[in-house]
Amino acid sequence: MKQVTTYENQKVLVLGLAKSGVNAARLLKKLGAFVTANDAKPFDENPDAKELVSDGIKVVTGSNPVSLLDEDFSLIVKNPGIPYSNPLIQAAQSRNIPIITEVELAAQVNDAELIGVTGTNGKTTVTTMITEMLNQDRPVGKAKFAGNIGVPASQVVQTLTKDDVMVTELSSFMLTGIKTLHPHIAVITNMYTAHIDWHGSREAYVAAKMRITMNQTADDFLVMNWDLPEQHELAKQSKAQIIKVSRKGATGADAYVADGQLMWRDEAILPVDQINVPGIQNVENALAALAAAKVAGQSNAAIATTLSHFNGVRHRLQYVLTYNDRKFYNDSKATDIEATQMALRGFKQPVVLMAGGLDRGFTFDRLVDDLKAHVKAVVLFGQTKDLLADAAKKAGITEIHFAEDAVAAVPEAYKLSQPGDVVLLSPANASWDQFPSFEVRGDKFIKAVEQLSGEKEQQA
């Protein structure tokens, strides 16, 4: 970690705790700042706040009072999920107080090479794949993942040296609050429509994603999905060298599929059917990851070994177990329609689908063709259950059932299945109507599968 003096004796407000806020506050204290942490959750219900108090950091809980700004803070480090419509944030902007997110703070003290990964779907899988690829046969240093993958960058950065690499998953929320973050290699997995309720428009969402390349130069690299025509135009915004990936064999691609092989330019890396995780989305993820790894200097053999042994990522089309010849999969991370479409397309077996969640004001007509092609029965829950039922009816599905939530859906889905079927949780919706996160939803789903089967999940 670089030793910087920027924050010595500066008053800094950390707004919103959880993992990123706690670690940002600790890092700022280490850098000599006078830190105040603020979180809306009451102190008695706030273990993060209690931790920081024990560390000697000032904490204000229970609300986000605008009066806090009277303390003349020179900077606010904002939790990525807090919208800019928050009254305290709006007041800070009117006072011209700089506002950043925790990944920007980490970038300012980072001494290692930085690889950044963003996109609508596949971020976590690609981040993990790259990290494992770069650690395969690595002679010096270590690649470590951080960011939206669940490990705060401000925690990881303190362990890094110039011999290491930080592979950082970057959400649109995080990227909105960066200023100097500069990945040598950036990856945009794809760009669909998501988080419009937070950003206000698709244009704002896309602009946030493109901030990953705003500080790149001609010495840097930007990996883009060349199967998406929009990416061709967006690439013009970057000064970096564009590395093109294409599952469909787009002209001029650097990483692509040909004759059943993953290719890097003219070199065959691995047969597609030897990727150890199912689905066409994981072919695309593998291409994006291998492109980043090749640019970083990794060997074909190391990349092939990684992909042929890769067990997937928890909650991302995660194989749980087989019970009575039914395979159970946890795809709780599928918080949008496109992710569920990709999951369904990865299976040749009949699927009993469990789906539903937070209503964001759209229908599921885009899902109809994939339901028709892959799904024999559905068990639906949450705010969108009726909208999903409409889509299932349009797909000609007659077995449409309802459950209280993703947990109660498990035994119902099992009853609708037969030997050889796939029983899949792929909600196509965010979890927040019933669960605090997709991780909690997925963990509870796994527990329900274990309870049904009397077996434990298959660990990678």
- Strands, sheet with 318-323, edge to edge from the N-terminal-most edge strand: 318-323, 326-330, 422-425, 351-355, 375-380, 399-402
Q: Percent of the chain scored above 90 by pLDDT?
A: 91
Residue at a domain's end among 309, 342, 363: 309
- Which of 44, 68, 97 represents a domain boundary (last residue)? 97
Place of tokens 């930007």: 222
Contacts of 53 (CB under 8 A, 6+ apart): 59
Residues 232 and 325 in one domain: no
> What is the C-alpha to C-alpha distance for residues 297 and 291, in angstroms, rounded to an integer?
10
| Res 309: pLDDT | 87
Structural domain boundaries, residue 45: 11-97
Give CA–CA dist 254/357, Å, rounded.
38
Per-residue CA distances from 439 to 194, 252, 301, 313 (Å): 18, 38, 33, 11
Task: Give dist(CA 131, CA 148) in Å, integer.
Answer: 14
* pLDDT, tens digit (0-9, with 9 covering 90-100), for 387-424: 999 999 999 999 999 999 999 999 999 999 999 999 99
CATH code for position 397: 3.90.190.20
CA 372 – CA 358 distance, rounded (Å): 23
> 282 lies in a domain?
yes
**In a shared domain, residues 180 and 299:** yes
In this structure, are 136 and 191 located in the same domain? yes
**pLDDT score recorded for residue 192:** 86
Mean pLDDT of the residues in the chain? 96
Same structural domain for residues 161 and 285? yes
Q: How confident is the model at residue 460 (pLDDT cuts 50, 70, 90)?
A: low
281, 309, 337 - which closes a domain: 309
Percent of residues, the chain, with pLDDT higher than 70: 100
Q: Do residue 284 and residue 331 come from a single domain?
A: no
Q: How many domains does the chain have?
A: 3
For the segment 307-323, what is each residue's pLDDT rounded down to a tens digit? 998 878 889 888 899 99
Residue indicated by tokens 């890097």: 264
CATH number at residue 185: 3.40.1190.10
343 falls within a domain = yes
Q: Please tell me whether residues 296 and 175 are part of one structural domain.
A: yes
CA neighbours closer than 13 Å in the CB half-sphere of residue 6: 12
DSSP code per residue over 318-346: EEEEEETTEEEEE-TT--SHHHHHHHHHT
Q: Are residues 222 and 153 in the same domain?
A: yes
Q: Which residues contribute to the annotated binding site for ATP?
A: 119-125
Q: 1 lies in a domain?
A: no
pLDDT at 281: 87
| pLDDT given at position 17 | 94
pLDDT at 317: 87
Pair (191, 289) in one structural domain: yes
Residues 371 and 425 in one domain: yes
108 vs 3: CA distance, rounded Å: 10
Backbone angles phi, psi at 423, to 5 degrees: -110, 110
Mean pLDDT over 372-396 rounds to 98
- Same domain? For 215 and 145 the reply is yes
Q: Which two tokens stand for residue 198?
A: 């937070």
Annotation: binding site? 119-125
In a domain, 4, yes or no: no
Please write the tens of the pLDDT for every residue from 211-224. 999 999 999 999 99
| Sheet architecture: strand order including 267-271 | 143-147, 165-169, 113-118, 185-188, 221-225, 241-246, 255-258, 261-264, 267-271
DSSP 3-state of 364 = coil
CATH code where residue 87 lies: 3.40.50.720
Of residues 155 and 192, more confidently modeled: 155
Number of neighbouring beta carbons within 10 Å of residue 22: 24
Verify that 248 and 366 share a domain, yes or no: no
Give the pLDDT confidence of 80-132 residue by residue, as tens digits. 999 999 999 999 999 999 999 999 999 999 999 999 999 998 999 999 999 99
Q: What is the pTM of this model?
A: 0.82
**Nearest-CA neighbor of 312 among 128, 187, 131?**
128
Banded pLDDT at 346 (limits 50, 70, 90): confident
